[in-house]
Amino acid sequence: MIANFKKGFSNRINNIGLPILALVWVGFFWGTTWIASKEGVRYIPGIQMAAIRQFLAGFLYIAYFLTTKSPWPKGKQWNTIIILAILNFTLSNGLSTAGVKYISSGLGAIIAAIFPIWIVIISFFQGEKMAKLAVTGLLISFGGICIIFYEHLGDFLIPDFRLGILLSVLATITWAFGTLYTKKKAATYNPYFSLGFQMFISSILLFAYNGMTGSAIDWVAIPANTWYAIAYLVVIGSLVTFTIFVYMLQHLPPEMSSLYAYMNPIVAVLLGSVIFDETLTISIALGGAVTLVGLYLVNKSLRDSRKKTNILIK
């Protein structure tokens, strides 16, 4: 009887406890990656740091799966890998890392969270109807962004601030296109192996950009703090947390697993104010909360749309 109780309790922990812990892990630690990125780009160009991070993480992914003798991508699968490497890592991750050099880590995280808005807008221009809930969410999120930037109006006169905002917004747009392309052209082989190739290919492209522009600094001149930040991003951000993220997606319903996207900006804003003394104003707190509410409605609309599609297919 005791053995059965222990077995049942253990199953409950595995079925409920571990996925929830995975959600908390992803929500917290992907929020901390904004802080690590902010620390790293204080000393080197953001594009160079993104290139190094993706090269190391991609190499480790590929090396691991080579030891397991996983099948290599074939034929048109390479097209998918290359396109996603450009959209998700070369552009999205590269631009967001470069952008956080000029704006606060918290602001960068909030902007990064708005990518579902672009998914709705892109889908609309592709002929899909916009649900009322999605429109409501868009308007609320826009209102939240306006509140956030209310106290930053003067900062738009600063070229670097405008550049940071532009790069961050462009990063969310390319991530949205990458998300939609992944949904449409998802590869049929090991997703981790694919991810490793995407990272590795994107690092080559980013290194090439650094070489052509002469913007990179000598590797021996990179300070220890930046290497610590890169190591954290590679190990915690790319390898450990992404693995936990996939586990979370497999064991939690979509409406619950998506909560990590709302936790990331909160973590980034709070830690940014503590570690970097980034100003935590009422407008950022209130605007961030309003924006996340709007994003929740947009995500809910997307989930409801997927459910209706699945019902029709059945």
| Residue 26 φ/ψ, nearest 5 degrees | -65, -45
Domain region containing 187: 39-313
- Residue 311 is predicted with a pLDDT of 41
- Residue 83 is predicted with a pLDDT of 92
Q: Is residue 10 part of a domain?
A: no
Cα gap 177→304, rounded to integer Å: 20
Contact 18, 251 (CB under 8 A): yes
Of 180, 28, 32, 55, the residue nearest 116 (C-alpha): 180
Q: Is residue 175 part of a domain?
A: yes
- Residue 252 is predicted with a pLDDT of 78
CB atoms within 10 A of CB 135: 15
Cα gap 187→84, rounded to integer Å: 11
Assign residue 192 a region: left if phi > 0, alpha if psi is -120 to 50, beta otherwise?
alpha
Q: Label residue 307 by pLDDT band (50, 70, 90).
A: low
Contact 81, 187 (CB under 8 A): yes
Q: Is residue 24 part of a domain?
A: no
Q: Is residue 135 part of a domain?
A: yes
| Mean pLDDT within 6-12 | 48
Give me the helix-helix angle, 260-275 and 282-313, nearest 10°: 160
Cα gap 106→37, rounded to integer Å: 11
pLDDT of 199 above 70 = yes
| Residue 37 φ/ψ, nearest 5 degrees | -65, -40
Helices (H), 77-151: 77-84, 94-99, 105-112, 115-125, 132-150
Q: Is residue 29 part of a domain?
A: no
Of 29, 163, 172, the residue nearest 113 (C-alpha): 172
The total domain count for the chain is 1
Select the more confidently predicted residue: 21 or 154: 21
Entry pTM: 0.81
User: Token pair for residue 141?
Assistant: 């999120």
Select the more confidently predicted residue: 233 or 70: 233
Q: Is residue 193 part of a domain?
A: yes
Give exposure, 180-202, as e/b (b: 16+ Cβ within 10 Å): bebeeeebeeeebbbbbbbbbbb
What tens digit of pLDDT does each residue of 249-260 get? 778 776 567 678
Cα gap 28→271, rounded to integer Å: 10
pLDDT of 314 above 50 = no
> What are the DSSP calls for 176-235, one per residue?
HHHHHHHHHH--SS-HHHHHHHHHHHHHHHHHHHHHHHT-PPPGGGS-HHHHHHHHHIII
Q: What is the DSSP letter of 103?
A: S
CB atoms within 10 A of CB 245: 18
Of 271, 258, 249, 245, the residue nearest 299 (C-alpha): 258
Q: Is residue 143 part of a domain?
A: yes
- Residue 312 is predicted with a pLDDT of 37
Beta-carbon contacts of residue 170 (< 8 Å; ≥ 6 apart): 91, 95
CA 73 from chain centre, in angstroms, equals 24
